[in-house]
Each structure stands twice: as C-alpha cells, then as structure tokens.
C-alpha cells in the first residue's frame, strides 16, 4: 500500500498536477500569471523613444523636459506592469499615458494623472483631475497621497486588458474597469467627462505606447527609475 501511495504522488508531481512552494501572486496581478523580466523603459540615450528633438533629456539621473511635449516609447505594450518615480514642482500638472496612439493621444489614450494636489488650483479642482486619478474619468480613492513638491513619489501601474490599477506610494488608489465607461459625456459615477475625451474608454484599444507629459503650463516634472515588464 505504501509503495502504491508513493507511486501515485510521483505521477502527480511529474504531470504537474501537484505544485508545492508556489510564490503568492503580487497585488494587482492574477495568480499564476507568467511575467517577463523587468527592463528599463527608456535607453540612456533615449534611442528607443520618440519626442521632439532637444525637448527631453536626463538631468542628474532624472528625465525631464524643456517644453510641453510628450515622450513616447517606440515599443507597443498591451498587458504590462509599469513602475516609476516622479517629482513635482509647485503647481505641476503632468501625466502618464497608457494604451496611447501618439498621433491622436488626446482622444486615444488613458492618462494616469500627476498633479501637485497641494497647489490651490489643483486642490480645488475636480477630484478626477487630481493625482492618482484616471484623468477626467475616475478619481483616486484617497486624495493627497502624493507628496509635497520636491519629494519623490512612486507609481506602480498595472494594465491588464480593460483593467487599470494604480498604486501611489504603496497605496492602491485606483482600480478602473474601462468597459464601464461607455459614454463620451458622462462617467459611471455621474460626473461629466471633459470635452476632448470624446472617445469612451470602453471603445479604446487595450494596447499602445506608454508616454509622459512634458513641462505643461511651464511647470516642470522629473521622472526616474522607469521600468516595465509584460504580464
């Protein structure tokens, strides 16, 4: 009998039915999902990026811009996990674009908002314009998780098909289902979208470029430790 039991478990292990010591799934990722290794989002010479010449550059290990012009990955991504750090100036209003088509990004991208929520202008704005929001669509679950200007913040953004999870400084602040945003005028919570978001998120493709907004409204932004992996 003992030999038969031992043989039975040996067969299970060989066939892969029984697995032991499996690592737990990370927050925001489905269990058992295989993932590629992390890689830098941009090369040191920015050779794998598209942007107007001379606008984006590295400054003391951080990526920053001289104008309000976006930078885009050359590579297209669909399901992925993105990590980065950002630092605001006073009054900064910037963003991370995912699922973007650079030639028409205004209507064909999803923007994860970056803002100095301590500045009176942004503190008094709609919550879906504040840091951690899916811009114009869904506010962060908690406001002022972003640190004050001059301090570094960390974003972790997980995009799996129509689901987008946003972690800001270690907190899950947004969990959006694009499929629920079927109107170009009204969000599921009853708030109005903005005029230029004329294509409902439910109709957007779930693959595209990753990008970053530049020196918007003449307020600088800095990024560092940008890395990505497919999931």
Helix, coil or strand: residue 201: helix
Q: Does residue 183 lie in a domain region?
A: yes
Q: Does residue 1 lie in a domain region?
A: no
Q: Does residue 4 lie in a domain region?
A: no
Q: Does residue 72 lie in a domain region?
A: yes
Q: Show the DSSP H helices in 61-118 as ranges.
A: none
Q: Does residue 12 lie in a domain region?
A: no
Q: Does residue 192 lie in a domain region?
A: yes
Domain CATH number, residue 146 = 2.60.120.560
pLDDT at residue 8 greater than cutoff 60: no
Where in the sequence is the domain holding 103, given as residue range(s)? 26-230
- Rounded CA-CA distance 215/56 in Å is 10
What value does the mean pLDDT of the chain take? 89
Q: Does residue 2 lie in a domain region?
A: no
- Rounded CA-CA distance 110/210 in Å is 10
pTM of the model: 0.86
Nearest to 227 by CA among 88, 63, 106: 63
pLDDT tens figures, 131-159: 999 999 999 999 999 999 999 999 999 99
pLDDT tens figures, 25-40: 444 554 445 678 999 9
pLDDT tens figures, 54-105: 999 999 999 999 999 999 999 999 999 999 999 999 999 999 999 999 999 9
Query: Which of the 8 DSSP states describes residue 186?
Result: B
Angle at 102 between CA 45 and CA 59, to 5 degrees: 30
């Amino acid at each position: 009998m003992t030999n038969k039991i031992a043989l039975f478990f040996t067969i299970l292990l060989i066939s892969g039915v029984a697995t032991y010591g499996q690592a737990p799934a990370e927050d925001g990722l489905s269990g058992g999902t295989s993932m590629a290794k992390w890689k830098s989002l941009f090369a040191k010479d920015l050779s794998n990026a598209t942007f107007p010449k001379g606008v984006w550059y590295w400054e003391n290990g951080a990526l920053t811009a001289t104008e309000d012009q976006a930078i885009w990955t050359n590579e297209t991504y669909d399901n992925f996990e993105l990590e980065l750090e950002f630092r605001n100036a006073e009054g900064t209003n910037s963003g991370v674009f995912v699922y973007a088509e650079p030639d028409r990004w205004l209507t064909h991208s999803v923007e994860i908002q970056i803002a100095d929520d301590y500045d009176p202008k942004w503190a008094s704005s709609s919550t879906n314009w504040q840091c951690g929001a899916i811009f114009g669509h869904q506010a962060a679950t908690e406001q002022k998780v972003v640190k004050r200007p001059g301090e570094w913040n960390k974003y972790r953004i997980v995009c799996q098909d129509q689901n987008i999870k946003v972690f800001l400084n270690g907190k899950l602040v947004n969990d959006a289902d694009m499929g629920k945003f079927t109107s170009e005028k009204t969000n599921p919570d009853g708030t109005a979208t903005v005029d230029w978001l004329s294509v409902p998120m439910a109709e957007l493709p779930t693959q595209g470029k990753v990008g970053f907004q530049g020196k918007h409204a003449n307020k600088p932004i800095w990024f560092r430790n940008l890395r990505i992996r497919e999931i």
